[in-house]
């Protein structure tokens, strides 16, 4: 009987439902009406592990398309330039995804108590593509076709928009469950105050996350970052099914066209409560393997299988995006640990100095600083926070067993290599801090908790603030304004951070960071009538150099290309007129002193580049010896017309 039911549903439940009301796509979705329902098993709540095609691991010349089905039959992926010629067609090689099997404790909760078994994974890496190009794709099988599109990563001169959030913590139990919504103690002028008894948020978590994704989709980002705690329990398959119901299923299929760059959070190491095993080794490994099955990332070269897909780097247009795994510092149970419940057996990478991940990170940061306009970091545990995880690592009052404080060990590295912003979650609040000029965000407002502070003003513990670097906290700095039962403005809501990177008309690279929240519009009775995109009063504008110095690899006194002359070049983003003489300042990071360039000879006077040659005569050895290290080149005001008074930090090695 079980096989008959599953086979019957397999034949019937094979169509991807796309809501006709969903709008704001880059291109209209091709109609899937009448096709077999191969991908819509979540809608039927049977064969739950099937997932619509979604895109992963973006590159200028490649994209991966992944999907899951209950059948092990190969299916055909076809890719074409949008409105143009076909560039790829190939059959998948289905692999049984045994990591996605249901735990025995989940089976009674499935429809009819029937375990459909693990699904098959289909994954095809399409290569040989063109940068910044939109491609249409279809996945075809005997029953019908699923259609969507994707865009490859652009070149380094292109504008980019991305969106990042954390803590969606999906689970079926989120439906009908609204989270606690702590009211600020202060009532601003003109507000009647929050209605008595309103202690939980105005919609449940499912609706909050759904509306957040709808808003994100309407903004057409190039990619989406998720800073951990993606599911409620990483070891429960039903929680992953719920994630994909939102992202590649019946509620939304945003991931079919927009790649997700995901960091693991502590919940991705959590097997689930009670009989699911919690943070025991076996349960943590089960959770780890589910995460790894769903996400594909660039290789990190660690040589350790369990480290792959846990931390990675993506160069996307003019920016570098680095995702880290900070979920288990070592030694376990020390002040360097972010999870006292995990041991070392599951093989999660350490992030502390001397670890494989730390050394990899330093190498990536050094390289990114010399190549990219902006460097952004993503991981789960917010290192600076007034939330429950803002206390130092430890047990007892004033400590936390899943603290984000140990991750502060990375801040000096971020400062050394010019990181622009760090995106985290964990404390489930919108909070912005600035440390050593670096912007740190807790954007854990994706779709689960909407917490108030645990320390400082309004802190639930009554303890002093644990975050002296705090610039903005939605709980305090976006006061709720009520008119009776109607919320007019302000408050803690589900949302995300939107980042736009572009080159302005003056040749300066900029990054605009907007903390967005999805505001519930209400009538006078407090009924929700719609949703509106709003931005907290905490937007940030970052700038990068209008010049990009490109230095030759100079090792003290050695020849460059066998010429006996060492050179240092500067390329400009647009045509300029050079001053006479044209001055370049060079500073050594280690000494903090300027490098004597009095013997540097200006060669050439092109409009888009200039070269300083460091020598004491034609064919001579270099007069200026640059040791390995970090340097900042500064083009002072008036050196060019128009003036590009900018600086850029780079490495000589």
User: Could you tell me the domains of the chain?
Assistant: 2-20+39-151 (2.60.40.10), 166-543 (3.60.21.10), 547-652 (2.60.40)
Q: What is the pLDDT of residue 14?
A: 28
Which residues contact residue 96 at a Cβ distance below 8 angstroms, ignoring those fewer than 6 apart? 72, 118, 119, 120, 121
Instruction: Report the pLDDT value the prediction gives residue 631, as an integer from 0 to 100.
Output: 54
Helix (H) or strand (E) holding 368: helix 356-371
Q: Is 169 left (phi over 0), alpha (psi -120 to 50) or beta?
A: left
Alpha carbon 284 to its chain centroid, in Å, reads 23
Cα–Cα distances (Å) from 523 to 179, 353, 373, in that order, read 22, 54, 45
* This prediction's pTM: 0.80
CB 226 within 8 Å of CB 166: yes
For residue 599, the model assigns a pLDDT of 56
Helix (H, G, I), strand (E, B) or coil at 415: helix
Helices (H), 156-280: 205-218, 237-247
Query: Which of the 8 DSSP states describes residue 292?
Result: H
CA angle in degrees (0–180, nearest 5) for 13-16-19: 125
Which pLDDT does position 95 carry in this prediction?
98
Residue with tokens 């006292």: 340
- CA atoms within 13 A of residue 133's CA, in its CB half-sphere: 20
* CA 318 vs CA 402, 573, 576: distances in Å: 35, 13, 21
Q: What is the pLDDT of residue 651?
A: 44
Tokens of 441: 């965000």
What is the sign, positive or negative, of the torsion defined by CA atoms of 284, 287, 293, 295? negative
pLDDT given at position 329: 96
**Integer Cα distance of 491 and 536 in angstroms:** 10
Helix, coil or strand: residue 516: strand
Q: Which of 409, 393, 475, 408 is nearest to 440 (CA)?
A: 408
Task: Determine the 3-state secondary structure of 242 from DSSP.
Answer: helix
pLDDT at 641: 53
Q: What is the pLDDT of residue 13?
A: 30
Looking at residue 634, its pLDDT comes to 59
Q: Which residues of the chain have a pLDDT value below 50? A: 1-49, 546-568, 571-574, 603-608, 614-624, 643-653
Gyration radius of the chain's alpha carbons = 26
């Amino acid at each position: 009987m079980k096989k008959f039911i599953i086979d019957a549903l397999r034949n019937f439940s094979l169509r991807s439902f796309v809501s006709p009301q969903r709008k704001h796509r880059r291109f209209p979705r091709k109609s899937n009406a009448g096709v077999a329902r191969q991908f819509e098993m979540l809608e039927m709540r049977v064969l739950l592990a099937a997932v619509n095609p979604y895109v992963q691991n973006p590159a200028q010349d490649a994209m991966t398309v992944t999907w899951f089905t209950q059948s092990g039959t190969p299916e055909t992926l076809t890719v074409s330039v949008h409105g143009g010629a076909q560039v790829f067609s190939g059959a998948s090689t289905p692999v049984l995804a045994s990591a996605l099997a249901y735990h025995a404790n989940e089976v009674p909760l499935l429809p009819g108590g029937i375990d459909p078994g693990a699904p098959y994974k289909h994954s095809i890496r399409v290569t040989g593509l063109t940068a910044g190009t939109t491609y249409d794709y279809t996945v075809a099988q005997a029953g019908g076709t699923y259609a969507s599109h994707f865009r490859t990563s652009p070149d380094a001169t292109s504008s980019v928009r991305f969106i990042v959030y954390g803590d969606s913590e999906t689970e079926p139990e989120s439906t009908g469950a609204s989270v606690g919504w702590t009211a600020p103690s202060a009532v601003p002028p003109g507000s009647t105050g929050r209605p008595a008894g309103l202690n939980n948020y105005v919609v449940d978590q499912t609706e909050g996350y759904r509306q957040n994704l709808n808003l994100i989709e309407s903004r057409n980002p190039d990619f989406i970052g998720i800073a951990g705690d993606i599911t409620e329990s990483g070891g429960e398959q039903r929680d992953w099914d719920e994630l994909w119901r939102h992202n590649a299923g019946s509620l939304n299929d945003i991931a079919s066209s927009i790649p997700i760059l995901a960091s693991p959070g502590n919940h991705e190491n959590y097997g689930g409560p009670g009989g699911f095993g919690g943070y025991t080794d076996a349960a943590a490994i089960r959770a780890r393997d589910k995460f790894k099955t769903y996400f594909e990332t660039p290789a990190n070269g660690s040589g350790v299988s369990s480290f792959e897909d846990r931390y990675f780097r993506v160069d996307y247009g003019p920016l570098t995006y680095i995702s880290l795994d900070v979920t288990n510092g070592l030694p376990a149970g020390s002040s360097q640990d972010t999870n006292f419940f995990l041991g070392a057996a599951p093989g999660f990478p350490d992030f502390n100095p001397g670890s494989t991940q730390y050394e990899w990170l330093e190498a990536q940061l050094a390289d990114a600083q010399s190549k990219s306009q902006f460097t952004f970091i993503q991981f789960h545990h917010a290192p600076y926070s007034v939330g429950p995880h803002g206390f130092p690592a430890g047990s007892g009052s004033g400590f936390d067993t899943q603290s984000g404080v140990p991750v502060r060990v990375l801040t000096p590295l971020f400062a050394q290599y010019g990181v622009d912003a760090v995106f985290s979650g964990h404390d489930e609040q919108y909070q912005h801090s600035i440390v050593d000029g670096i912007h740190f965000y807790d954007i854990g407002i994706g779709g689960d908790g909407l917490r108030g502070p645990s320390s400082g003003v309004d802190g639930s513990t009554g303890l002093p603030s644990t975050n002296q670097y705090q610039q903005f906290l939605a709980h305090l700095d976006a006061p709720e304004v009520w008119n009776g039962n109607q919320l007019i403005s302000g408050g803690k809501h589900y949302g995300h951070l939107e980042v736009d990177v572009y080159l302005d008309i003056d040749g300066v690279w900029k990054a605009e960071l907007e903390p967005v929240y999805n505001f519930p519009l209400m009538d006078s009775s407090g009924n929700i009538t719609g949703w509106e995109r709003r931005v907290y009063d905490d937007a940030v504008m970052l700038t990068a150099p209008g010049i990009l110095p490109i230095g030759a690899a100079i090792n003290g006194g050695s020849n460059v290309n066998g010429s006996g002359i060492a050179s240092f070049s500067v390329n400009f983003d647009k045509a300029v007129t050079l001053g006479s003489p044209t001055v370049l300042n060079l500073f050594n990071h280690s000494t903090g002193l300027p490098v004597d360039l009095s013997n540097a000879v200006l060669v050439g006077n092109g409009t888009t580049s200039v070269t300083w040659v460091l020598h004491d005569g034609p064919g001579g050895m270099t007069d200026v010896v640059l040791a390995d290290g970090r340097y900042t080149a500064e083009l002072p005001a008036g050196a060019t017309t128009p003036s590009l008074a900018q600086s850029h930090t780079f490495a000589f090695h």
